[in-house]
Amino acid sequence: MQPPRVVGHVPLVGNLYAMRNAPIDTIMRTLRERGDLTRAEFPGVAGYFLFHPDHVRAVLVDHARHVSKDTPGFVALRLLLGNGLVTSDGAFWLRQRRIAQPAFHRAKIFALGARMVALAERTAGEWESAARAGSTVDVAESMMRLTLRIVADTMLGADVDRDAAGVGQAIGHLLHDLNDRIVRPWLPPVSWPTLRNKRFREAKDTVARVVDDAIATKRRSPDAPGGEFLRMLIDARDEESGEAMTDQQLRDEVVTIFGAGHETTANLLAWTWSWLSRAPHVRRALRAELDAVLGDRAATADDYPRLPYTRMVLSEALRLSPPVWFISRRLEAPLRVGAHTLQSGALVFLSPYATQRHPAFWENPEGFDPERFAEGASAQRPTLAYFPFGAGPRKCIGETFALVEATLILATLARRFEPDLLPGHVPVAEPVITLRPRGGLPMRMRAVGARSA
């Protein structure tokens, strides 16, 4: 017997329209109405949606050696990220991961804390002007700019405001475009001379220019502050052959870190502000922790373990609004799931968004409640009922970077500002590879509490 179908199936195109027009609604209805294992059809491709934490473990952990990233989503992403860490597979991926891993060591990330806070203070200055002028701020855009500044400074040693104008918009444009290519497979390939492809290439060139400049600058002055990650990639040598990365490899890794390292954290923070604005008691508890731990002084990386409630707020925002809401793999060997054997070659789709709202594992799944992440509270849940950073060998390499960065940013801004959603504005999630608030997040900026030095 076959598993039930994903909802919204129509002849010829299968589930393509449903997933293109209302992806979130489609996966949530499928989970509610059809259960944990369902089959989906797209033109020329079949696949399975798996929602149960045991299935997540089966795909990402137990069967990790027998799945690949040969899926439409990753094929499209390769147009931007080349063969970098997110998109590569097999022995090549493993070698690159080993090279990159030391740069993400906890102590190295903590050492970047002061620069993260300094850049968050710059945003605080911008918010203060807006609060004084009584104007609204697009908080999604503001967080995107801040995390871009941070990844550019700490990882590449570049100043986006000075040297890399336009790179944020270029990445945003590319992600939108790539998402379209995934859900509209009939679009002309990128090599064809269409207007759309011309704009795609221009945006890609903008990113490549910034990255090439950063690489050239670091090669000229390797000891200049900033850009530690880039220096490590430039210096890395293959253990066996002693060879350095080719320029192309270097560029792919840098674009990957640049893209993966800011867009996701920016969306997490944007959603966090939006949830806080709708949960005044959580906002009060957060302020109370920040006042008690920080008082009037600026946050430092050493405060990270001292801010448990701040981290719980972020964990809950990651549960309800996971920036990576959908993960795909191709099975390279059959996989047994319950009573079903999924054939080699099939696509499998997992969704942190759906599993993190699975009613069997989460009480009041739509409610924003950071207490779910209080010490000891997760003991009743299967570990992979929650996987905003993925799991297994392909788990996010930047998890600590993202959590330290988001905690320091939230701590810096939340004790001085309470952004409020505009009356009547209900943020809508737009899944464009990452989960963004559609049309940005305009918020009224209100200054509160202490100013730091």
Task: Give the interface with ligand HEM as residue ranges (CB under 6 A).
Answer: 85-86, 97, 256-257, 260-261, 264-265, 268, 323-324, 327, 388-390, 394, 396-398, 401-402
Do 114 and 238 contact (CB within 8 A), yes or no?
Answer: no
Rounded to an integer, what distance in angstroms lies between the CA atom of residue 50 and that of residue 267?
25
22 residue type, one letter: A
Q: Where are the beta strands (DSSP E) in 250-408?
A: 327-331, 335-337, 340-342, 347-350
- Kindly state the smallest distance separating residue 97's Cβ from ligand HEM, in Å: 5
Rounded to an integer, what distance in angstroms lies between the CA atom of residue 382 and that of residue 295?
37
Instruction: Choose between 135 and 248: whose C-beta lies nearer to ligand HEM.
Output: 248
- Kindly state the smallest distance separating residue 33's Cβ from ligand HEM, in Å: 26
- Kindly state the smallest distance separating residue 333's Cβ from ligand HEM, in Å: 18
SS3 call for 71: coil
Instruction: Choose between 7 and 99: whose C-beta lies nearer to ligand HEM.
Output: 99
Rounded to an integer, what distance in angstroms lies between the CA atom of residue 251 and that of residue 418?
39
Instruction: Choose between 226 and 323: whose C-beta lies nearer to ligand HEM.
Output: 323
Instruction: Choose between 69 and 173: whose C-beta lies nearer to ligand HEM.
Output: 69
- Kindly state the smallest distance separating residue 396's Cβ from ligand HEM, in Å: 3
Instruction: Choose between 386 and 389: whose C-beta lies nearer to ligand HEM.
Output: 389
- Kindly state the smallest distance separating residue 108's Cβ from ligand HEM, in Å: 11
- Kindly state the smallest distance separating residue 264's Cβ from ligand HEM, in Å: 3
Instruction: Choose between 7 and 272: whose C-beta lies nearer to ligand HEM.
Output: 272
SS3 call for 420: strand
Rounded to an integer, what distance in angstroms lies between the CA atom of residue 120 and that of residue 413?
7
Instruction: Choose between 128 and 430: whose C-beta lies nearer to ligand HEM.
Output: 430
- Kindly state the smallest distance separating residue 134's Cβ from ligand HEM, in Å: 31
Rounded to an integer, what distance in angstroms lies between the CA atom of residue 17 and that of residue 162?
42
Instruction: Choose between 130 and 335: whose C-beta lies nearer to ligand HEM.
Output: 335
Closest CB to ligand HEM belongs to which residue?
398
Sheet hosting strand 442-444, strand order edge to edge: 136-138, 442-444, 420-421
Both tokens of 358, joined, read: 């699975």
- Kindly state the smallest distance separating residue 340's Cβ from ligand HEM, in Å: 22
- Characterise 439 by phi-psi region: left (phi > 0), alpha (psi -120 to 50), beta (else): left
Rounded to an integer, what distance in angstroms lies between the CA atom of residue 3 and that of residue 52?
14
SS3 call for 377: helix
